[in-house]
Each structure stands twice: as C-alpha cells, then as structure tokens.
Structure 1
C-alpha cells in the first residue's frame, strides 16, 4: 500500500470512529450546493445593496477588475519560497474566490471557465506542501469554494480531480503526526488549518460523508483550543496582523458552518470571541497606523471579517474604521485583504455605510495573556489622541520583548512608535533561529525583537525575562485620566524588587508616563527608552523637542532630576537585521543604589500654539 492510500485509510478509520460518537451537527440538514457562505439566490441581495452604496460598489468593482485581469494571466504553478508554498495557496484562494464570486454575480461563463482552470492547475500539484500546513489549509479552502460554488457547472473530470485532491492532499496529511501538530495548537495555525479542512469537508458532505463529518467533528474538538486565547475580553495575544489572519479564518469557519448546517456548534459563545471585534477596532490609531506590538506591521488594513462581526452582532458601529478605509481615495487593498473581499459584500450587503457611526467609549481594556488598554479620543482621521498600552509576556506566540510598551499619537502624528516585525523570510534565509524563544534563544538577538528597542524599561542592560508576565493593575476611565497601570516586576528577575508603570492621558491635554522602581539588594541601572521617527532637538537636559510633519511635541523629563535625555541611533548590530531609517531612540538612565526607590516621570506635551 502506498503512502497516499495508507493515509486515506487512516483518515477513514479515524473519521469512522468519530462518526460513531455523539455529533455536534445534524448532517441530514445540510444545504444543497452552493452552501458555503452565500447560498443560491443571495446574489440578488448583494446586487441590490450596490445601488446607492458607493463603498460597496467600489469593492465590487475591485473584485470584477481583478477577475478580468486574471483572464490573461497564466495559471498558478508550484513554487515554494524557502519552506513555504503559502504565497501560491493564498493567490489560489484569491483567484478562485474572486472568479467564482463574479460568475455568480454576472452569470458570465468566462469567469467560471477561468476559475475551473485554476482549480485544475492547483489540484494537479503533487502535494500542497504539508510540511508547512498553513499552505494546505488555504489551498483546501480555495478548492472547496470553487467546488461548492460552481458545483453544477464544473465538468465531471474537474469535480473528480478536485474531490480527490481535497481527500489526498488536504485530509490525508492532516492525519499524519509529522504534519498535524496544529490540532493541539493554541495559535492561528489551528484556526487556519482547521478552517480550510472544514471547508473541504462541507464541500464533500454528499460524496464522502463519513470522512467529511469526521474532519468537521475533529475540528470542533480542536478549534476551541485556539479560541480560548480571546478570554476574557477579546484581545488577541498575537497582535494586529495575526488577528486579521487567525480571527478572519475563525469567523469564516463559523460562517460556513452556519450557512451549510444552520449552526455554529456553539463556537460563537466562546468567551471573548465576539467582543474581539471591538478590540481590533481600537487597535487602529487616528493616523491610519496600527498598534503594532509583537509580529505586526504598522500599516492598517481593512478586515473583511469585521463585516461578518457587524452582521452577526447587528452593530454597524464596528464598521467605522472600515468605512474610512473604503472611502479614502488613495486606499489600495493588500494581498491579504484581496483574497477575502467577497466577504465584505456577502455580509455588508444590508448596511448603508452612510449610516455607520463611530463607537462611543474613549477607552477599551482587555485582560488575559497579553492585556492592553487602548485609548482613542477622536474617530476622524488625525483627530484627538491615541494611546496603545500593553502588558503581557515574551512567551506568547509571536511576541517581542515589548511588555510595558506604548504608542502615542497627537496632532495627527505618531510620536512614540514600535518598529514592528521583521519579515520572516529575510531572517530564515540567513539561518537565523527565529523561533527559538528560550531565554538565550537567537530570536532575542534580532534588533527589533528585544526590549532594547521598544518603548519600555531595561535594567542593567539585560534582556527581559521571557517567562515574565505583566498584568494590568488598574485602569483609568474618566476624561480627567484615561489609561492604565502595569506591574512590570517579573521582567527583571532579581535586578529590581518592584517596578510599576502608569501610562495615562491627563485631561486630554498631554500623556504622562510614570515608572516607580525599587532596586533589589544591589545597585541597578534603569534605562527608559522611546522609539520615534520624529526629529529630536534637545532644548535642555530635561526637555526634548520633537518635530514631524510640521507639528511639534515637547518631551519633558520631570524626574529624576539627576537624569538627562540623550539620543541614540537605530542602526542594527547584525547583518541579518532590517534597517530602520529615519528612526531614533530617546533614552535616559537612572542609577539606583541597593534598595533605593525612584520615580521616573515623563510628559508628552503637544505644542498647539
């Protein structure tokens, strides 16, 4: 018996075992094709929503334009980048999703035929790269959508090829222990891989019911492991971009289960999952930049999953950032957004974007593994203040040594920033052991990843303790004081006896960062750091003037009186590090005697005259 047949047999036996126990769903109630996300006849609702809704029309035009551009492009080929086929899988998902959607909206056969060509191409690959199973997850989802949405119009040969590919290249390797570690993971791999496999299973429920129901039931046992990270309030520990990845797939999993089987099996009731949409809304500042802690980029983007959340919760205010994004004339969708654009129209069809209003609260606070406090006093671009504050731990998935850090915006400018992630391939190709996050792991030698280049404290020139964790001690929710205080003590081992940080917007006039530290039984040198892309000018030892985009801000060191500001560059020390042009660090050092207590206090004062 060859390996493929063996894996298929294993898959069948496993799923037969699952099938014999109590099931989450009544599979006899499965909808007919098309059943994933958009059922037959729902196209009409979308067509109607385009009338007098320019934001929706713009998204539709984008999808149609992309489908038209694909007419002259060659079909996808098997091409890995390093150990990943992921770029090909993502492009397949975008192409098949877009082409199938435009066919269903227009009825024009050219789009169906082009989608079928892509399905044939990717299903003819030898494999979908199971050693990096995200590639399999996204590819299985791509083929499943095309198979389901075009079911009645695909040639028998293509349907057979797609079915066999889902079974052999999707399901079979998911039962191989060298590939399926994601089933026990608590991160985005679990969400993405299970979602893709469930899409395949929902597509094949008639032809391969036992195997398909086994895949679905296995996912229903596995996915809650990754969803528990949203508890208790909805903040996602992996940060901005990975919320867009893991949560988007999780939302699409729920949406597909509901459309195909009439139930989500209780997934929406998972603590923190539905409130997570509000967390994500507050992760974007008024400058159009994200609070990019951990492995995240500073650039904001549209999240099609927000339209599903708004529809599910019947809360159009969740779409305020999306509305701004869709109405900006200079907006271009990223590759990540593009592959999910039909979701905006499927779940945004009953919203009139002109009637979308902003949230009411000025602060959002979430506890959990990576607690955050997010302050936004204005919801129009460049209006008011924005402050993002985080605690947490470097042991979280995709984390940096950035516990205690913050970002700050005023006058439409980001003054305190996070350099964000370095793209993985740029490090992996240099053989950097990026995923070794032990205390002495090479991950923490990457310039952007350790605490030396984050808006936090460093003691005695040491890296933060990887297993240290920083909780929120208190939050301040009145207009006179908006912010949070954090207990940072565990980051510093035996170098400090106590360390707390308070980051608060005072009377909506200035930001104040107050650190209260106490040395342990030996002297300690405490460094305060802030990263900025503004141009610094030292007024005196305790005052730094920052200038950016024609705006000014004064950084005022109130205490200790013995300390003074200085500026250091962000030129990295390793050849594999990414450059950081246009940014510097503003620092000061406070030297403590054994047992000494000290308060470090800095004000960020916008110059408005």
Structure 2
C-alpha cells in the first residue's frame, strides 16, 4: 500500500508538472549515469585540489583552519533538538546544515575520525525527529540538504544501521512530503522558496538515488523543470528583486543546486544560461559600499557578509574582479567570523584555486540593473576607502519582500554611511503578535509596520500617504561620466492620485559630493511633499536649509538648494506600535514643500562630505538635461 501511495503521488506530480517535462523528454532517464558516493558537489579524490589550494595561499589555509577549529568545538556540543519557534523549525534546519557541511568537509579533508563520528551523531539525531516541519517547507528543504550532504559525503564510512536510518529520514521526512499538494506550492513560486526547496529536494534525491531511482529521477526532473520559474527574476541583467539578503539565500541555494547537478551529471541542463543569471554576480558585487555595508533595501539585514556563491560565478564567467568585495572580507575579517555561514565549505569547492591577493578591482564604477526592482549603484572609486558611494532603487512595493522604498537611496563618503536604511524586522517578532505581514494589497497590515512604509525611507512622502502598491518606478536614464555620474527614476505611478508626475535623479558630482533632485507636479489637488534622510549620524540644523551631520570624526553637510525657503527638522525614528522594532540612535532629517494644484515643484539637495563642503556646488540642471 505504501508503494502504491508513493506511486500515486508521483503520478500527481507528473500530471501537474508534466507537459513541459515531457516536452523536453525528461532530461534524466534510467540510462543517465550517476557517479558512486560521494557524488554531491565533490567527487572522490577531489579533496586533493583543495589541499593544493591550501598549500598555495595562506588566506585560504587560514579559512580552512577556522573551519576545523569550529568543528573541534562542535565535537562536544549536543546535536540540534526539534524545538519549533512559532511556525518555523528553520533555525534548527540551518544549524544542522551548518554543522553537517562543516563536519563532513573536515572529515573528507583530514580523515580524523572524531569529525566523522560527530557528524554521524548529528545525522542520527535529525533523522529521529518526528518530522522536519513540512507546513513551513523551507525547514524541510534545508534539513534535507543537511542530511543529503552528510549521508553522501560520509556514505562509505557510515554503519549499515546509520545508513538505513538516514536514508529513510531523507525519503519519509524530506522527499515524500514534497509530493503532497498541501506542502509543495513552492513548485509554482517565482521567489526564493522555489530555489531553496528545489535545491533541498535535489540533494535528497541525489543522496538516495540508488535506493529510489524512479522517485529520485522524478524529483530531479521536476526540479529542472520548475526552478526556472524563480530564475526568471534575474532577467534582463541580473538585478535580484528581493535584495541583498535574499540574494544571499535564494541565489546561493540556486548555485548549490546547479553545482550539484553539474557534478553529478556533467551538465546544468541550460540553467546557468537563463537570462540575467550569470550577470547577477555583477549586481551583488556592486551592492556593497566602501564601508563593507550592503545596500539593504527590502527585507535585508543592515550589514554585509562573505558570499561563497560569488566564487562560483567568478569561476564560471572567468571574471575574478567580481570578487573584489569578497577579497576585502577574506583579507580583513577574522576567519572565525565566517564559520557561521552554513554554506561556507562550498567556497573551497568553487574558488578555482585563485590567489586572494591577486583579485583585481572592477573596471566600471556604475552598474544599472533593470527588472522588477531596478537599481543604480555608483561610486567614485573601488580602491579608495573614503570613496563616495550611492545606491538608488526604483521598483515596486508589490515585489516579494519589498518595502515602500521606491526612490530610496543609501550614501557613503569618508568611510561613513550617512544615508541608511533600517532594513528588515524579524518576522517572528511580528507574527507572534498576530501581525499579518505577507499581504501586498494597498490596505494590508504589512504597511502599518514602521520599517516597511515609505515615511522612514530616504524617499518622498506625499500628503502623509503611502506609496501605491501597484506602482512601478523604472530607471529612466544613467551615465557613468566621472564628472557627473548619475541615474534617474520615474516615481509617478507610486504617487498616482496625489501627483501627476514625480521623478528623482541622483548624481555623484566630480567624484566629490552627491546631488539629489526631485521634480514633481501636483494632481488636481494641492500636495505636500516631504523629503527624508535617515541617518545614524548626529544631526545639527545650522540654518533653515542647512544641516551638519557628524560621525566617527567625519562631517557631512546637507544643503537644500531648491527651494531655499524650507525648514529642516529632525526627529528620532521612533516606531508607531509596540510590535515595531526599536531603532535607537537613528534620526530622520526632513523638510516639507507645498505644491499648488496642477503646479510643479523642484527639490534639490546636496550632500557634501567635508572635503567638498568648501566648494560651490554646481547649478543643477533639470533632469531632462542630464545626459
């Protein structure tokens, strides 16, 4: 009966997802050859390549030693327990993946039995869980990947009893729930759930292939067919709609998936050639400013981190300059900091043996990405730690994980982030209080969360209202000229009903300072436009249209050039509700401009680092005259 049940589930998957699979005649068939264990990511004997890299580069060896040191600490730590937080088991799945990837890596590169024994203990612990929480399928996906890597990499050294327990768990708690329509809506998703869940299921299928060949082929063929839905978000040129944090999640798991398929089958079934996918590494490389902080729009954290997947892209595209930011992290950060990354061992498989010190800086200082959430990323220099950096975004609040932040920007100079974004709030802190944060309608409760609305982002607020969820702001023009590097975006549809037109342009002038220019036209009723800059700097208003920001011994002048008759104000970024996260040390610098019905208005603001403050700011031309 169990076999019949599994067969019927497989048949349901084939019926639901089958037409396109049949059209490409199922790329993985019974005739397809598969290597023996270990077959996921690194075949038997390929440890020698890692050893060669470790001998040739002390930076890589330092990271390797940090991973082994972490594994030494894990030996005495109890395995993860099945403790659910709200609707998620995800933190336990992620910790299991981190531990098993590290310990399995340590065993394969050193052959020291304590690592094998500790990994086996972890595998048996998660295999004994009652389930892997299929109602929140990301939890199942990451746990299945953890078990798949451990089972495959340790296969030849596990006891027969352990093998049976682990492969049974992969089948019953990982793969089979993915055949249940209650849990597999991610098969039709265009966001990171598709990438992560397909990757996890593929790892499980590859791990137990010889025991369940027909089922494994069904899962793997299904993954080839459906993961392209989420990869469509990278078109046309690589800007990832969900932002920095979810690039590190969705894209990294997408790369884990493609890398495993390439290793197992010798090809990636055309996936890396999906429009924009290989270009997305350029997006990520440009998303970090000279301070090392990311452009953290949407649901992203406030910092930045080493991205192992970037090494896969650099090797694949033969473009080592993509790794300039990663180079900085490897050379300046304590390697022990990196071991919290659950995918860290993959960096040793993807680095291509590159010498870290030989990584060159990128040539271009401007990057423009279109798509669902277009961005403009510009800087005065890659090598100067005091360089001016600006990230500006267009897009729409309707994008997955988006905030009402179209038109918003971050800005750095002199090693300080002056204009910043609060980033995400922990989901459970909101969900546990009954806040419904996943609605995307105009009146959704999501937009009542302080960090999600436009009033606390570096953009415009009109009549104290929200941006339109159905609006979209494209990047309309740009130039990489060193004297006037800039980009513009059309925000009109974000303020439909209040404004007839709204455009924003941001420029780095003479590689010294930044200009932000907004051109608006009120609709049939008068409008009040509020301009906002969010900062962690100390702010002193030194004139009606001039403020001085200070931080870390540095200074930035905010000068409102048009209209001159404004009143700058400051206020702490204090939340509206008890469920909102606090934002200590943050200040909103704002001013308001009234615009009569049908009339036009211009708001021009210069952000002048100390070295440029004594200069006379150039007259700023209308946006239509920006080249």
- Secondary structure of the corresponding residue to residue 29 of structure 1: coil
Secondary structure of 2:542's counterpart equals strand
1:411-560 to structure 2, matched below 5 A, reads 411-560=414-563
Residue 164 of structure 1 is matched in structure 2 by 168
Q: Alpha-carbon deviation of 1:5?
A: 6.7
Which residue is 2:57 aligned to?
53
| Counterpart-to-counterpart distance in 1, 2:456 and 2:126 | 43
Does the C-alpha gap of structure 1 residues 362 and 87 become closer, same or farther in structure 2, counting only changes over 3 Å? same
**Aligned counterparts of 1:489 and 1:333: Cα–Cα separation in 2:** 44
Contact 1:59–1:345 at 8 Å: present in 2 too? no
1:195 corresponding residue in structure 2: 199
Pair 1:126 & 2:124 matched: no
**Following superposition of structure 1 onto structure 2, how do residues 182-221 of structure 1 map, counting pairs within 5 Å?**
182-221=186-225
Q: What's the CA shift for 1:349?
A: 4.6
Q: Distance in 1 between matches of 2:334 and 2:117?
A: 33
Q: How many residues align?
A: 606
Retained in 2: the 8 A contact 1:46–1:349?
A: no
**Out of 394, 399, 407, which is 1:396 matched to?**
399
How far apart in 1 are the matches of 2:546 and 2:238?
Answer: 38
Distance in 2 between residues matched to 1:206 and 1:329, nearest whole Å: 43
Shift of 1:325: 0.5
**Distance change in 2, residues 1:590/1:544 (3 Å):** same
Are 2:386 and 1:386 aligned?
no
Q: How far apart, CA to CA, are the structure 1 residues paired with 2:568 and 2:509?
A: 22
3-state SS, counterpart of residue 97 of structure 1: helix
Q: Give the distance between the partners of 2:524 and 2:13, measured in 1 at CA.
A: 60
Residue pair 1:302, 1:333 contacting (<8 A) in 2 also: no
The Cα of 1:280 is off from its aligned counterpart by 0.3
Tell me, yes or no, if the aligned pair for 1:16 and 1:210 is still in contact at 8 Å. Answer: no
Displacement, 1:334?
5.7
* Corresponding residue for residue 245 of structure 1: 249
Matched, 1:8 2:6: yes
Separation (CA, whole Å) in 2 of partners of 1:326 and 1:45: 20
Q: Work out whether residues 388 and 406 of structure 1, in 8 Å CA contact, stay in contact via their aligned partners in 2.
A: yes
Tell me, in whole angstroms, the C-alpha distance in 2 between the residues paired with 1:350 and 1:287. Answer: 27
Matched residues in 1 for 2:589 and 2:334: separation? 33
SS in structure 2 at match of 1:297: coil
Q: Which residue of 2 aligns with 1:149?
A: 153
For 2:42, which of 34, 38, 43 is the aligned residue? 38
Task: Quote the Cα distance in structure 2 between the aligned partners of 1:236 and 1:16.
Answer: 30
- My pick for the range that moved more, 7-16 or 303-312, is 7-16
What is aligned with 2:73? 69
Structure 2 CA distance for aligned equivalents of residues 407 and 560 of structure 1: 23
- Aligned-residue offset at 1:7: 5.3
Instruction: State the partner residue of 2:115.
Output: 111
Query: Any idea what SS the aligned residue of 1:242 has?
Result: helix
CA apart distance, 1:378 = 2.2
Q: Are the counterparts in 1 of residues 170 and 204 from structure 2 also a CA contact under 8 Å?
A: yes
- SS of alignment partner, residue 150 of structure 1: helix
Shift of 1:14: 4.5
- Residue in structure 2 matched with residue 300 of structure 1 by the alignment: 304
For the residue of structure 2 that corresponds to 1:547, the secondary structure is strand
CA distance in 2, matches of 1:118, 1:514: 56
Q: Deviations over 1:261-312 (max 9, x none)?
A: 1110110010011110110010000011110000001111001111111121
Q: Which runs of 5+ in 2 are unaligned?
A: 615-627
The secondary structure found in structure 2 opposite 1:99 is helix
Q: How far is the alpha carbon of 1:177 from its aligned partner? A: 1.3
Contact 1:7 1:176 (C-alpha < 8 Å) held by counterparts: no
For the residue of structure 2 that corresponds to 1:528, the secondary structure is: strand
SS at match of 1:243: helix
Tell me the equivalent position of 1:563: 566
Partner Cα distance (2:167, 2:334) in 1 = 41
CA separation of 1:359 and 1:470: change in aligned 2, threshold 3 A: same
Match of 2:624 in 1: none
- For residues 84 and 388 of structure 2, what CA distance do their matches in structure 1 show? 44
Question: Is the contact between residue 41 and residue 259 of structure 2 (CA under 8 Å) also seen in structure 1?
Answer: yes
How does the TM-score come out when normalised to structure 1? 0.97
Cα deviation for residue 381 of structure 1 reads 6.4
Q: Deviations over 1:185-214 (max 9, x none)?
A: 011000000000001111122221110000
CA distance in 1, matches of 2:302, 2:10: 45
| Residue in 2 that maps onto 1:288 | 292
**How well do the aligned residues superpose, as a CA RMSD in angstroms?**
1.6
- C-alpha deviation, 1:35, in angstroms: 1.0
Are the aligned partners of 2:365 and 2:382 in contact in 1 as well (CA < 8 Å)? no
- Alignment-derived partner of residue 320 in structure 1: 324
For the residues of structure 2 that align with 1:70 and 1:555, how far apart are their CA atoms? 50
